[in-house]
Amino acid sequence: MLLAIGLKREQVYIANILKCRPPENRDPAPTEANLCRPFLERQIELIRPRIILAVGRIAAQNLLDTDTQIGKLRGRVHRFGPAQIPLVVTYHPAYLLRSPREKRKVWDDLRLARRAMTTVAGESARKLAES
């Protein structure tokens, strides 16, 4: 999926909401996510990503601090944290294995992420030229 939008695996940093796997691979409890949040925020601060792709319901809801369904979060660019990093929500690959007809929606989400990333890069270049 990353290659389809022109990114190599080496260009992407993958992080998780939790820093350890919950027992029996269950969804993380809100208290667990809250305990790990400072570590995730520090990772994001250090990496300074041009964009965040929230892959799956758990990532999307935790990053955006909402209980809104993933289907309603997709299709637009959200902003994350004080740096207002563009954030795009999409379905988790495991969901796509169970629901292959949803792949088209993920492709749309990836194209949106690519456009948002290009926009951010253009804004950064413009700010450098102005300074």
pLDDT, tens digit, 9 for 90 and up, residues 17-30:
999 989 998 999 99
Percent residues over pLDDT 70 in the chain: 91
Average pLDDT over residues 25-54: 95
Please report which confidence band the pLDDT of residue 98 belongs to, taking 50, 70 and 90 as the band edges: very high
Structural domains of the chain sorted by starting position, each given as residue range(s) with its CATH number in brackets: 3-130 (3.40.470.10)
Q: What is the pLDDT of residues 101-126, one digit of tens each?
A: 999 999 999 999 999 988 876 665 55
- Residue 90 is predicted with a pLDDT of 97
78: β partners: 87
Average pLDDT over residues 61-70: 96
The full 3-state SS of the chain, as one line of letters, equals CCHHHCCCHHHCCCCCCCCCCCHHHCCCCHHHHHHHHHHHHHHHHHHCCCCEEEECHHHHHHHCCCCCCHHHHCCCCEEECCCCEEEEEECCHHHHHHCHHHHHHHHHHHHHHHHHHHHHHHHHHHHHHHC
